[in-house]
Structure formats: structure tokens, C-alpha cells
Structure 1
């Protein structure tokens, strides 16, 4: 009898401990995944790529939450240097100071800068030299480039923008011209496109992905030196106003880091589809 009692007690203990263990495992399984937050930011040109890639990336990485702040290239690079961002979108090349600060550009796509005009403008083609004259203010009337007798309304990006810096470097600097101070300033590409669409006799420059905002309002994208701003012409090098798009890191991307994994995702086949969907040009 004593032996049967001991065996019975042992069985009860085994069941009890098993139940506790199972409950412990259940609680552990139900414990929410710890989420780590990452803040990226910078170029509004790069934003359509990153913002589309984020939900795809985080769906495969449930312990990661990423936000992107479209504050412009210059501001984003400053915040990256200060450590408040861990990746910065940039739509221009880094300058010597930024490189000296340890910033490293990681190319994620190609883009062409389009030149667009309001529907009231009859001109269809301009040379780089004419564009430099217009955006420096030396050419101030459309009649000077074969258009109607109407004052040219300039619409440009703010000076912290990578789009501003790229256009200045490619168009104005090569012709040794300074940007006109007599211009309407837009904070991001979408705003600039909308201003071109609503401002008579206006001209501005923007990322190719935003062309449709102008054309849907009846405006048009100009030829530059007779070349259309298309993906094919950017890839073959014939379109004269083109650039790289970057995700910039502070120091080389570290193996195993979320930042490297995110850049690698954009460079993958799935990422190439995201780049194409944003109407930019993938590297692969």
C-alpha cells in the first residue's frame, strides 16, 4: 500500500510539473516580440523608394520598426552625422566635408532630373546652356528662347535639397552660372510639380517620378538638348541631367546590422521592383 501511495504521489507531481512547464512555454510563446525602432530620413526624392520598401522589409523582420522622415538631403545628412538618423537618403553626391565626417554613400538607384513647364509655355526643347541662362536669371523672358513674350516664372527646390544641389552642379556649375534668387521655392518634389502645374509661364526641375503631376495638369516635360528624360536615356548616358540616388551610412555598413540588411533588400530583385514602381531606375 505504501509503495502504491508513493507511486501515486510521484505521478501527481509529474503531471503538476508538466502542466506548469507547459504553461510556462505557452506564456513564453505568447510573449510579444520585442520591437526595435530605427529612424531613417533625408531626401524626398529617395522617399518613395524607402517608404514602399519599409513595410515589405518589416513584414519579413517583425522585430524591426522603421520610419522615414523626408527632411531633405542636406538636413538628413546633418542628422546622420549627429547620430539622430542611422541611414540618410541623398539625391546628390557627398561633399568633401561629409566624406571627412565619415559618411559613406551606398548607391541604390539612378534617376534623371526632368525640366517641366506650365501648359501656357509653348517651348518644347532647351539646351543646357539655355537652362543655365534661365535658372541664373540671365534669360528672363520666354521670347529669348523662342517662346511668347512673357516673363519666366522660376520654381526651384530649397537649398538643402539634393535635387537643388544636383541641378546646380550639372546645369549651372558647368556653365559657370549662379542660381537666381528671384524664384518660387518648393520644399519637396510633389509641391514643386504642383506649383508648375498651377503657375502660368513657369519652369522647374524635378525627379522623373513626379512628371505625371505636371502632365496630368496639362503641362509638359521638356527635351534637354533634344533628348527625352526617359529610363532608357538615363541608362545609356544620353540624357544630360541624371544622377545616383543613395542611402548614406555613418561609416561602412556593418555586417548583421538592420541598416545593411535594408540596403541589401533594396538592391535585391524584390527591391528592384520597388525602385521601378517608384519610377526610378534599379541598378540590377
Structure 2
């Protein structure tokens, strides 16, 4: 009886070990499954808040898809993609040729997806008397050719420019669409929030931010300027119909770059962004969905 008991105990122990091994195998298999791997997204500060909301919602819809999101600027996102520290690079600008060359040197094939459209809003203090500016005037202000608001109204105030850092896609976009070099006296800020806080405190300041950030309710103490060219009427970046028709001067696509080899891994998230739920989130976040 004692021997049988020992054999029985041994058999039970073997069975328990086998079951534990089976559980470990299942866990290992699940952790190796592409669907259970976390999709790492880094880059544009313009896109970060929107993508965070999308990531939170897809988690509610599909608890298998895990997404981590961080900002730092479009340049950082593309560099992280190159170095293998991100699966998707959020970028509010087109990738540069110098960046493409680095991917080619590593034999990495890239693809991209435009998931939303954004508009750049030029903002001043809500106590400012000006409601609109011409694109030529903005060019002269940002380049430092015009340094005082007396060129536009009676107040004799020096103009303070609040812009983004050079690794920002928004900085690059404004620079290229206006074909300018920014004034060396322009203050480089970390993001939308910092620019708006500076504008609220500085009655002579002007800055540029994502219109989506303003539409989300961050508009206290500031005024969003309408913009016009020599051949058009003034248009507000907060006018959804104007953006849809393409009549606002400072509007741009929002990109997501990824390695072609990672497509199956990130496809559930890209598909979610294209879905009706994704489009609704994009619109409610102050951006404009893109029909794909």
C-alpha cells in the first residue's frame, strides 16, 4: 500500500507538471503570436493625443490588440522606426529624402498610410484687434522681416514668434509651405500646449498650433486668425467645410510610416483607423477623416 501510495503521488506529481508545462506552452505561444505583441507608435506631437484615443478605443473593441503611444516629434518617430524601437512612426510631414536613404541603406522597405487631415491654426491673444492675416504677412512675420505689429494696426508692439523645434513636422511644414527660414529670434516650444500658454501670457505673441488641439477646447484666452491669400477670402482653420473643400491654405495630411515586413502585425490598428468608429473618433478629436 505504501508503494502504491508513493507511485500514486508520483503519478499525480507528473500529471501536475505536465499540466503546468502545457500552460507554459500556451503562454509562450500566445506571447509569440503577432496579435498579442504590443504595437509601438512614436512620433508627431500633433498626432499623439488623437492616436492615444484611437489606441484606447481599439483596446475596448478588441482586447487582443495592444498599442503603446508616445510623442517626441515626427523626426523622433521616423528615427525610432529606423532603429526598430517603433512599429509605426506618426509624422505630420512627408518623410525626407535623407531619411529614406537611411532606410534604404538598411534594406528596409517602407510603406505609409494617411489616416487623417489636419489644419495649422495661427493664434494670438484674445485681446488682439486683428482677426485675419494674409499669407504674405505671415511669411514676413515668421522670417523676421516684419518685427512690429504697427505694420498692421496702431499698437506699437514688438512681435514675439512662438514656434516649434526643428525636429517637429509642424515646424517643417510651415517652413516649406511658405518657403522661408524662420527668424533666429523665434522661440522654440515643445508642443501645442506650451505655445498656447505663451500666447495667453504675451499680448504681442503669435504662434502656430494644430487646429485639432484648439477644437478640443483649448481655446480660452486665444484668438484663431482667419487666413487669406491675395486671391481668396479669409478662411478659418476651424471651418470643417473649408477643410473638406481644400480651401484653407495651411492644411496637411497626417502620415503613419511603417516597415512593410510589419504590415500584418499593425494591420488591425490601421483597419480600425479606417473604420466608422475610427473616423468618428478622428472627427470628434478635431481632425478630419480621410476616405481610403
TM-score, length-scaled by structure 1: 0.82
Residue 209 (str. 1) matches residue 216 (str. 2): no
Equivalent position of 2:287 in the other structure: 280
Residue 248 (str. 1) matches residue 257 (str. 2): yes
Equivalent position of 1:220 in the other structure: 223
Judged with a 3 Å threshold, the aligned counterparts in structure 2 of structure 1 residues 252 and 37 are, in CA distance, closer, same or farther, namely: closer
Residues 149-200 of structure 1, C-alpha deviations (whole Å, 9 max, x = no match): 11011100111111111111112x1xxx311110222111122122212222
- Distance in 1 between residues matched to 2:41 and 2:220, nearest whole Å: 31
Equivalent position of 1:237 in the other structure: 246
Residue 152 (str. 1) matches residue 159 (str. 2): yes
Residues 128-147 of structure 1, C-alpha deviations (whole Å, 9 max, x = no match): 11000000010100111235
- Distance in 2 between residues matched to 1:267 and 1:194, nearest whole Å: 33
- Distance in 1 between residues matched to 2:112 and 2:174, nearest whole Å: 19
Q: Which runs of 4+ in 1 moved over 6 A?
A: none
Cα displacement (A) at 1:224: 0.5
Partner SS state of residue 53, structure 2: helix
The answer on whether the counterparts of 2:43 and 2:90 sit within 8 Å (CA) in structure 1 is yes
Partner SS state of residue 274, structure 1: helix
- How many correspondences in the alignment? 258
Higher-Rg member (1/2): 1
- Distance in 2 between residues matched to 1:214 and 1:60, nearest whole Å: 28
Partner SS state of residue 149, structure 1: coil
Residue 55 (str. 1) matches residue 25 (str. 2): no
Q: Which stretches in structure 2 are left out of the alignment for 5+ residues?
A: 1-11, 104-108, 229-233
Cα displacement (A) at 1:253: 5.7
Out of 116, 119, 127, the position equivalent to 2:126 is 119
- Distance in 2 between residues matched to 1:258 and 1:148, nearest whole Å: 57
- Distance in 2 between residues matched to 1:251 and 1:239, nearest whole Å: 33
Q: RMSD across aligned C-alpha pairs, in angstroms?
A: 2.6
Equivalent position of 2:95 in the other structure: 94
The answer on whether the counterparts of 1:194 and 1:214 sit within 8 Å (CA) in structure 2 is no
Q: Which stretches in structure 1 are left out of the alignment for 5+ residues?
A: 1-16
The answer on whether the counterparts of 2:75 and 2:167 sit within 8 Å (CA) in structure 1 is yes
Equivalent position of 2:9 in the other structure: none
- Distance in 1 between residues matched to 2:185 and 2:218, nearest whole Å: 22
Out of 136, 143, 152, the position equivalent to 2:143 is 136
Cα displacement (A) at 1:148: 1.5
Partner SS state of residue 135, structure 1: helix
Cα displacement (A) at 1:84: 1.0
The answer on whether the counterparts of 1:42 and 1:74 sit within 8 Å (CA) in structure 2 is yes
Residue 270 (str. 1) matches residue 277 (str. 2): yes
- Distance in 1 between residues matched to 2:235 and 2:284, nearest whole Å: 23
